[in-house]
Amino acid sequence: MTAILRFICLVFISVSVACTGQKKEIAITDFFKSPDKSGFALSPDGKYLSYFKLEGDKQNIVMEDLATGKSVQVTNLTDKNVNYYFWVSNNEVIYYKKSPTGKNATLFIINKDGSKERQLNDNEKSRMRVLKDQLIDDKYLLVSSNRRDSTVFDVYRLNVRDGDMEMAVKNPGNIVNWYTDAKAKLRLATSSDGVNETLLYRENESQPFRPVITNNFTTTITPIAFADGRPNIIYAISNANRDKNALVEINCSTGKEIKVLFGNDSLNVVEAQYSVSRKNMTFVVCETWKKDKYYLDTFSRSFYERLDKLMPQTESRIVDRDKDENLFLLRTYTDKNPGSYYLYNAKKAQLRKLSDVNSSIRVEEMSDVKPISYVSRDGLTINGYLTLPRDKNPKNLPLVVLAHNGLGNRSSWSYNAEVQFFANRGYAVFQSNHRGSSGYGKEFSAAGFKQWGAKINNDIEDGVRWLVKQELVNPKKVAIYGSGFGGYIALNSLYANPGTYACAASNSGVVNLFSYLKAIPPYLKSNLQMFYDIIGNPVTDVDYLRQASPVFHADKINSPVFVAVSPRDKWINPAEVVQFVKELKKKNVKVTYLEKTYVDNMLNTTEDRQNYYLALEQFLESNLKGK
């Protein structure tokens, strides 16, 4: 569909659903409510259902016997949170306790009835990653940890019976990822020199790793699974020798790609599903404006066709399954519905609803999220999303530009609480997948390298201009807002694109790229050159990094600014943010400053969310609607 046709459809739909009565303003707490139940998982034998249960601001693990329906809460934490867990046998789960300070989590194991809880490690001074959630010889778990050297991750066999850790493979200093086969044998690794990445392979654990394929970091090969009965063949998502990701077979003995299972010049594979029980690849997921499945076997096609009949006009994703692949845990959603969790019995084709993600949200009160596309000033097609308030005539609206977070991330079609919150308050919401965003091929991604504060900002501004030209948006009532990278873009845009934005709001946004690069943790140092290629080199790109860092340009900012930051933020220098705010105030710039009690840009408690979004709402009300 062309951009013009999309626009015509968008306006038509918006006019047809516009409310004639007074709008209902939904409470902040309703939009940003934590789910009462989340983190659903199944025991491997499919006899038990586990999940997080929220009480106050603490969540604990609950087990339900699916045969009897009886439940038991197996953890009872009051000072820390369980932030992740997984089953390692039919009777045991391993979980992480995370302290309020946000330091590295500590690992525990506990029986499904709540008995025999044991601490496996004290992870306050190091980080640990579980490589395979599968016990070896009923006692060993394969993990990677930087306990020996903070800059690298070695592989250990963690004995879950006594907590002992025995090194399995010592990292020579350049390994950035480890991969196991279906039997939890360590067979693959990825090394990096900062610019080039090499896939390493070994036939068995008694042999050394040897290099197989080397590519520049812009070319990615992500292993999915080893092919059953062909120990040297892997399935992988790869964009080697192509712009878009494809699902391929690779012969690790020769390093050659031997077969394309799914590939398309216009479709980018973002996910691939392997069936352990059927031992084959089942489908891939490609994302354009929306995620779509493309089936590789008839079983998967009929499986999802049955689900579509049971849950029409909704998206569904498998979040877990039992070993026999009869019981499945599903998460559903749409653009207007946060979704629900379901237990699906495939043999009986029966669904059991487990919980709503947010029971306070009413779909009929939410706004449609529509795809748009436009052309940047240098001729690049940019895709994005536009959400119009459902109770207003779609003309001359105030606009909130929501810049996405993350290096190489993107905005996607799904339920977004912030988008719906802004739309409910009467704002149009624009999300741009500017150059550098993922999902559009490696050429589009690379087009954003060293364009922070330059062409990335221009792509977003060109989208604003396009909306103004369609008379949807009031050019004097445009705000830009984001978290993390999006917060940086918001602050940067005030002086990089003067006159476009009436105000800007930043949540944990970087203000100094020099400090940001300096703060890269030791375990990511092997990727430092990659960061330099994408963001800029603090030695050779001094002028560019200075131009792209808001902290050096307070004198150029005259519009109101909202800044939220935590004194304990690890990726930005809070003192520099405070100094930046002081410089703005010296110029009599209107500044709303919010010091957060939590570490990152996530809003952990109900009180956190209420305080944050109330302050943001008042800031926008004053500086957009009040103009």
Residue 579's SS3 state is helix
* Parallel/antiparallel/unpaired status of strands 269-275 and 256-262: unpaired
Q: Kindly report the average pLDDT of the chain as a whole number.
A: 91
| Structure tokens given for 551 | 């902290």
Q: At what angle do helices 455-469 and 485-496 cross, to 10 degrees?
A: 70
User: Which residues have a Cβ under 8 Å from the Cβ of 529 and sit 6 or more positions away?
Assistant: 193, 194, 195
pLDDT of residue 83: 82
d(CA 415, CA 412): 9
Distance CA 433, CA 14 (A): 22
How many Å apart are CA 77 and CA 402, to the nearest integer?
36
Using CA atoms, how far apart are residues 511 and 533, in angstroms rounded to an integer?
A: 19
Is residue 189 within 8 A of residue 209, CB to CB? The reply is yes
Bridge partners for 141 per DSSP: 158
- In this structure, which amino acid lies at residue 541? D
Pairwise pLDDT comparison (478 vs 82), residue with the higher score? 478
Nearest residue to 30 (alpha-carbon basis) of 362, 354, 257: 362
At residue 460, φ and ψ (nearest 5 deg) are -65, -45
Q: Cβ-count burial of 333 within 10 angstroms (0-12 exposed, 13-18 middle, 19+ buried)?
A: middle
Give, in degrees to the nearest 5, the angle at Cα 232 between 226 and 234. Answer: 35
Single-letter residue type at 441: G
Q: pLDDT for 487-544, tens place per residue?
A: 999 999 999 999 999 999 999 999 999 999 999 988 888 889 999 999 999 999 999 9
- Residue 465's contacts (CB-CB under 8 Å, 6 or more residues apart) are none
| pLDDT band per the 50, 70, 90 thresholds, residue 16 | very low
Domain ranges of the chain: 384-625
The confidence score (pLDDT) of residue 187 equals 96
For residue range 103-162, list pLDDT tens digits in order. Answer: 556 889 999 999 999 998 876 678 888 999 889 999 999 999 999 999 999 999 999 998
Among the residue ranges 423-432, 475-484, 595-604, the one predicted with the least confidence is: 595-604
Judge contact between 92 and 132, C-beta under 8 A: no
- The answer to whether 430 and 505 are in contact (CB under 8 A) is no
Please report the DSSP string for 91-147 in residue order: SEEEEEEE-TT--PPEEEEEETTS---EE----SSS-EEES-SS-BTTTEEEEEE-S
Buried b (16+ CB within 10 A) or exposed e, 575-591: ebbbebbebbeeeebeb
Q: Rounded CA gap, 449 and 528, in Å?
A: 14
- Amino acid making up residue 220: T
Using a 10 angstrom Cβ sphere, with 0-12 exposed, 13-18 middle and 19 or more buried, the burial of residue 395 is middle
Query: Taking the CA atoms of the chain, what radius of gyration do you get in angstroms?
Result: 25
Query: In angstroms, rounded to a whole number, what is the distance separating the alpha carbons of residues 510 and 489?
Result: 9
CATH topology of domain 384-625: Rossmann fold (3.40.50)
